[in-house]
């Protein structure tokens, strides 16, 4: 389901980690950040920011929002067209991003 569109498209993730999980994708192809036009990247971030605000104000009543972008295979990128995940977080939702620092 498309939720936003201009130079980027935002749509509901087919495999959401939480209810309300949205992907923000530039229409122009870019494999990763290296290939992404900086102005378009800023626009993608601004769209994600607006969507995060909308999620916080929605009936979902989320407790927080994560923004996640994987850039390159070593960073767990699986789809090689740059995209930004915007997903609402709920206390006790069980989703974890584990990092060994």
The pLDDT of 50-58, averaged and rounded, is: 96
Mean pLDDT for the chain overall: 95
- Fold (topology level) of 2-89: HIT family, subunit A (3.30.428)
Residue 83 appears among annotated catalytic residues: yes
Residue 100: is its pLDDT beyond 70? no
DSSP state of 20: T
For residues 11 and 68, what is the distance between their CA atoms, to the nearest angstrom?
A: 15
Which of the residues 43, 81, 83, 85 is marked catalytic?
83
For residues 61 and 25, what is the distance between their CA atoms, to the nearest angstrom?
A: 25
Q: For residue range 16-40, what is the model confidence (pLDDT) as tens digits? A: 999 999 999 999 999 999 999 999 9
Question: Quick one: pLDDT at residue 80?
Answer: 97
The pLDDT of 39-64, averaged and rounded, is: 97
Residue 74: is its pLDDT beyond 80? yes
CA separation, residue 30 to residues 1, 64, 80, 91 (Å): 22, 29, 8, 34
For residues 14 and 61, what is the distance between their CA atoms, to the nearest angstrom?
A: 21
Q: Are 85 and 68 in contact (CB under 8 A)?
A: yes
């Amino acid at each position: 389901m498309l939720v936003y569109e201009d130079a980027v498209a935002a749509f509901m993730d087919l495999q959401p980690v939480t209810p309300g999980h949205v992907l923000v994708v530039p229409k122009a192809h870019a494999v990763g950040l290296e290939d992404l036009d900086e102005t378009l990247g800023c626009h993608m971030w601004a769209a994600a920011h607006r969507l995060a605000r909308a999620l916080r104000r929605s009936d979902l009543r989320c407790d927080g929002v994560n923004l996640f972008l994987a850039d390159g295979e070593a960073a767990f990128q699986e789809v090689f067209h740059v995209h930004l995940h915007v997903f609402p977080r709920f206390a006790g939702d069980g989703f974890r991003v584990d990092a060994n620092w």
